[in-house]
A = this chain, B = another copy of it.
Amino acid sequence: MEKPKIPGKTIYRLSIYHRCLRRLEDNSIETVSSSSLAKAAGVNPAQLRRDLGYLGTFGTRGLGYPVIELADAIREVLGREHLQPVILVGVGNLGAALLRYDGFKKEGFEPVAAFDTVPEEVILRGISVPVYHVDDMPSFIRKNKVKLAVLSVPAAHAQEVTNELVDAGIQGILSFSPTVLEVPASVTVNSVDLALELEQVSLFT
């Protein structure tokens, strides 16, 4: 069997296309051309067609792509059928904001618990997720078979916490710490460094 091996960048864009398609679904639009979907997603039409080519051949020449089928196909590839449980470690300012951020739920992720070294000090305004002490983290991960973690602890403790997460069985980490985390190859890490992102903007002006 051929394994299509979809490139990472394409996968990233598929998520974007999916979001655009959902809007079209909501508006009961049935077909869409590569050029208009590409414009909505902010990419080149040829690139979009190339990306969709990884899903098989869907489009109708002369017409465009069927919105619903295409959205389903992307969902299948991205495995978006059920909500993924996520834990969050480090309920400081940023962590608390992330817990309240509803964008995660919209995209299929559900924060099921949060951990901090001083859980009693966490202000619970608008947070419906339980906050526990980090000592309880490994057992929680194992018991609930959580695979994804969001890391928003101070940089100085990021590696230490990461080690605990990995030992407990976490397979994917979204980190907001401005450090390079060392993990086994089997664990995926995605780092978002807010200051670096802002810097990028400033350098191209």
Q: Are the C-beta atoms of B194 and A103 separated by less than 8 Å?
A: yes
Interface check A40, CB cutoff 8 A: yes
Interface check A197, CB cutoff 8 A: yes
- Neighbouring B residues of A174 by C-beta, 8 Å: 197-198, 201
Interface check A11, CB cutoff 8 A: yes
Q: Are the C-beta atoms of A198 and B12 separated by less than 8 Å?
A: no
- Neighbouring B residues of A89 by C-beta, 8 Å: none
Q: Which of these, B78, B79, B97, B103, contacts A178 with CB under 8 Å?
A: B103
- Neighbouring B residues of A144 by C-beta, 8 Å: none
Interface check A63, CB cutoff 8 A: no
Q: Are the C-beta atoms of A196 and B107 separated by less than 8 Å?
A: yes
Size of the A side of the interface (Cβ < 8 Å), in residues, is 54
Interface check A54, CB cutoff 8 A: no
- Measured CB to CB, the closest approach of chain B to A126, in angstroms, equals 7
- Neighbouring B residues of A198 by C-beta, 8 Å: 86, 104, 107, 109, 148, 150, 174, 190
Q: Are the C-beta atoms of B78 and A195 separated by less than 8 Å?
A: no
- Neighbouring B residues of A204 by C-beta, 8 Å: 8, 172, 188
Taking Cβ atoms with an 8 Å cutoff, the residues of A that contact B are 8, 11-12, 15-16, 19, 40-42, 78-79, 84, 86, 93-94, 96-98, 100-101, 103-104, 106-109, 126, 147-148, 150, 171-174, 178, 180, 187-190, 192-205
